[in-house]
Chains A and B, each alone.
Chain A
C-alpha cells in the first residue's frame, strides 16, 4: 500500500511541475467553458433585446384610446417603442436606425367611435422583413383596439361608464384568447419528470462539457509521466524493488484519479461560484458522477500511458480520444440536438454518460437516483480500461 501511495505522490509531483498541466487542467477548460457558453447563449433572449425599434409620436396623447394603442404596441414582443421629434424619427427610419415611425394623429381616439376612423401614419421600409413585421404588429394592435371599440359600441350604445367597462373587458379578452397553442416535449413528458424550475443558464452544458473534454486533454501530461518512466528505465528499477507490477500500476492509476478528481472539484467550484451553476444542489449525485468519471477517464489515461511507445504518441492518442469522445459524447453540442442514431453511438463513449449525469443535476434538477446509471456505466469503462492496461503492462 505504501508503495502505491509513494508512486502516486511522485507522479503528482511530476505532473504539477509541468506547466502544461495547468494549461490543460485548469486554464483551457475555463476559457472554453466561456467560449461555448457564449456560443450557446444565442438561444437565450433573456440577455439580448431583439425587438424591432419603432419611433412613436402621439398627437392624441390626451385620449384614453390613443393611450391604450400606445400601451398595447409598447407591450408587444415584436416592437420596442422610442419617442422623439417627428422629423428626427423619420430621418432615423431613412437611415435604418429605426424600423418604423408611427404617428398617431390628433383626434384618433375619438374617431375610432365613428364610422370613419382616422388613419394612422406609418413610415416604414415596406420591402424589408423587419419593416413588414413592424407594420403587421402595429396593424394587429390597431385592429384589436378598433374591434374592442366596435364591441363596446354595440353592447353599450349609451356610452358613459358602461361603454368604458365593456371596452376594457373586450381589450382584456385579447389577452386571454379562447384557443391557445402550446408546445410540449414528448421525451420530457414520457420521462415522468417532477416539475422543476427551469434552470436558465448558458453554461449548464458548456461547463460539464469542457470539464470532461479537458479531463481527457489533461491525460497528456499524466500519460507522459508513465511513458517517460519506461523510457528513463525507472520502471525497470522499480521492478527490482519489492513493489509488484500491480502495485506499480495502481500507484500510477491513483495519481491519475487524484489529478482528475482535483481538476473536477476545482472546475465545479468555479462553475458554482462564478457561473452560478447548481452542482451543489445535489451534492451526493455530483460527487458520485465526479468520482466515477474520474475513475473512468483515469483508467483511459493509464491505458494510453502503458500502451504508448513514446511521449509524442501519448500526446497524439490523448488528443484523438479527446476529440472523438468530446464530439460523440455531446461535450460540444448537446446530444438532445442530435438524432437517435447519433445519440446511441455517442453513448458508446464514457463522456456521454458523464454528460448525462451532470446534466441530470444541472438542467433537469434531478437527484441521486438519476446518477446511479451514468455512474455504473462510467465504472464499467474504468474496469475495462484498467483491465486492458493491466494486460498490456504484463505483456511488456
Chain B
C-alpha cells in the first residue's frame, strides 16, 4: 500500500548570523489512516519538519532525488499544488482573522481551499457543527476563548476534507476540557479514515493517540516505532526520581557507580535514574547516600514510559532537553 506521507532525508539549516541545523536527515513514512506523532522537546525540529511538509519551508537539498516529500503519492517538491490539495494544516499558533467572525473565517478559508456553491455552504455548516460553534458562528474570533479559537483553528483545516492532516502542537496553552475535546476529535478523524501527523512535546498525548511515534531530538529522529515497541527499547528498566537534602550533583558520581544503574540525569532539582530492578537498586542508593551523609527526601518510582525511553536514548529528561 502506498504511504500517505513519505518523507526522505530532509535537511534544514537556518543561517541567521550563526548556522543552526534544525532538521538533520529526517525520514519516515505514515500509512493511510494512521496517527503518527512526532514527539520531542521544544527546539527538537518538529515544527520545522512540519513546515517543510506544508510547503512553508523549502528543504535544503531541493528536488535532487536525495530528499523527497510525497503526500498520497504526489511530490510536494515537484507537484506542490496537487500535494497541497491533499493536506490540511493546523498550525501551532491560532491562524485566524481576529476581526472576522468564525463563519466569515470558515467561508474565506473554504474558498481558499477551492470549495464553492452548495458544497461550500454544506461543509462550513458541518464543520461548525463538528467544532460545536454553530450558535456562536457570527461572533468575531477576537471575542472567543482560547479553547474556542483552537477549535476553529482545527475546523479550518478540515473544511476541504483532506486525506492527510497535520496538527502542530494543537493543545498548547488551553484548558483541560478543550484539550480533551481536541484529543477526542483527533481520534474521531482517524476513525473517519484520515491520516494524522501530530506533533507534541506531551508524551501522554503521543502515548494515547498514536499508532506510531517518532522521537525527535536535535533535528534527528532517534526512534520510530509503536508505543509498545519503543517501551521495549528500555527493556525492564524502571525510572526512579529522587530528591535529596543537598545539591543534586553531589550524588551523581556515587550513584552512577552503583550496580544496576544504567542512566542518571538531573531534571530541575530531581535526580532521574534508569535502573534494571528498582527493588534491588533502591537499597543500594539509600546506603550510598547515607555513607555520604546525604538524606533522601523523596522517591518516585515509575514504570517504563516514553519519558523513560527519551531518557534512555538521550541521557536527558524530555522536559529539560
Q: Which of B54, B81, B111, B156 is packed against the most chain A CB atoms within 10 Å?
A: B111
Is the contact region of chain A dominated by helix, strand, or loop, or is it mixed?
helix
B277 within 8 A of A: no
Nearest-CB residue, chain B, relative to A243: B112
Determine if A6 is an interface residue (Cβ-Cβ < 8 Å). yes
A14, A228, A237, A242: the one within 8 Å of B85 (CB): A242
Q: CB-nearest residue of chain B relative to A241?
A: B112
The number of residues on chain B lying at the interface, defined by a beta carbon within 8 Å of a beta carbon of chain A, is: 26
Query: Does A233 contact B100, Cβ atoms closer than 8 Å?
Result: no
Q: A14-B97, A14-B100, A242-B85 are in contact. Are A237 and B108 (CB under 8 A)?
A: no
Beta-carbon contacts under 8 Å, A1-31 to B: 2-3, 6-7, 10, 13-14, 17-18
Interface centre among A7, A232, A237 (most CB of B within 10 A): A237
- Write the chain A residue with the least CB distance to B112: A241
Q: Is A50 part of the contact surface with B, judged by Cβ < 8 Å?
A: no
Instruction: Give the contact stretch, choosing among B30-38, B88-96, B181-189, B283-291.
Output: B88-96
B56 contacts the other chain (Cβ, under 8 Å)?
A: yes
Binding site for B on A (CB under 8 A): 2-3, 6-7, 10, 13-14, 17-18, 228-229, 232-234, 236-243
Which residues of chain B come closer than 8 Å to A234, judged between CB atoms?
Answer: 95-97
- Which residues of B, 24-56, contact A by the 8 Å Cβ criterion? 54-56
B247 within 8 A of A: no
A10 to B89, CA, bound (A): 20
Out of B54, B99, B109, name the residue touching A17 (CB < 8 Å). Answer: B99
Closest to B97 in A: A234
Give Cα A234 to B156, complex, Å: 11
| Contact across chains for A6 and B108 when beta carbons are under 8 A apart | yes
B interface, over-half SS: loop
- A243: which B residues are within 8 A, CB to CB? 112
Given known A239-B56, A240-B87, contact A233–B97 (CB-CB < 8 A)? no
B153: nearest chain-A partner, CB-CB: A237
Interface residues of B (CB under 8 A from A): 54-56, 81, 84-85, 87, 89, 91, 93-100, 104, 108-109, 111-114, 116, 156
How far apart sit A78 and B116, CA to CA, in the bound complex (Å)? 75
Are the C-beta atoms of A240 and B98 separated by less than 8 Å?
no
Pair A240/B54 contact, Cβ less than 8 Å: yes
Question: Are A3 and B112 within 8 A (Cβ)?
Answer: yes
In the A-B complex, the 3 residue pairs with the smallest Cβ-Cβ separation, listed nearest first, are: A237-B95, A233-B95, A233-B93
Alpha-carbon gap, A236 to B91, bound state (A): 8
Q: Which of A7, A14, A233, A242 contacts B84 (CB 8 A)?
A: A242
User: Cβ of B94 and Cβ of A240 under 8 Å apart?
Assistant: no
Query: Which residue from chain B places its CB closest to the CB of A247 in the assembled complex?
Result: B112
Residue of A nearest to B88 (CB): A240
Q: Return the contact of B156 from the options A18, A236, A237, A239 (Cβ within 8 A).
A: A237
Shortest Cβ gap from B78 to chain A (Å): 15
A10 & B100 in contact (Cβ 8 Å cutoff): yes
| 25 sample A-B contacts, Cβ–Cβ < 8 Å, listed by A number | A2-B111, A6-B108, A10-B97, A10-B108, A13-B100, A228-B98, A229-B97, A232-B97, A232-B98, A233-B91, A236-B56, A236-B91, A236-B95, A237-B91, A237-B95, A238-B112, A239-B54, A240-B56, A241-B109, A241-B112, A241-B113, A242-B84, A242-B85, A242-B113, A242-B114
- Chain B residues closer than 8 Å to A241, beta-carbon distance: 84, 109, 112-113
Residues of B within 8 A of A10 (CB): 97, 100, 108
Residues of the B chain whose Cβ atoms lie less than 8 Å from the Cβ of A2 = 111, 116
Inter-chain pairs besides A237-B109, A239-B54, 11 sampled, C-beta below 8 Å: A2-B116, A13-B104, A14-B97, A233-B91, A234-B96, A237-B95, A239-B56, A240-B89, A241-B113, A242-B85, A242-B112
